Amino acid sequence: ITETQVTAITPKQVNEVVWFNNNETKKYSLTQPMFIKGDPYYVIVESGRIVPGNILIEIAKDGSIVETLITSIHSDEALYNVYQFSCEPQDWFIAGGYLVHNK
């Protein structure tokens, strides 16, 4: 586990969000960069490009890594408030339990 500091929070509105494996409590803008398991390294993919069969990197409360197989993807076209976090010194953080990148 490492620490990073949020240096800025930029709000914006989007017209569509996506969530995975029927978990509506973890919604992401279509452009949120997320880490998925690649071969052999983790790669960063925008959430709107994730497909069933991809494996998201989830971080458990104890800091352990859980590889979560994506079995279903859902989206909703409505107006949503989302936030872009800028972080230092790391360019990644945990959002909704998943490892994400801060563009």
Give CA–CA dist 37/54, Å, rounded: 7
Across-strand partners of 59? Answer: 65
Does position 1 have pLDDT exceeding 70, yes or no? no
Contact assessment for residue 56 and residue 68, using Cβ atoms and an 8 Å cutoff:
yes
Only one residue has tokens 């398991």, namely 37
Q: If pLDDT is split at 50, 70 and 90, which confidence band does 71 have?
A: very high
**Residue listed under structure tokens 């997320």:** 34
For residue 87, the cross-strand partners are 6
What does pTM read for this prediction?
A: 0.89
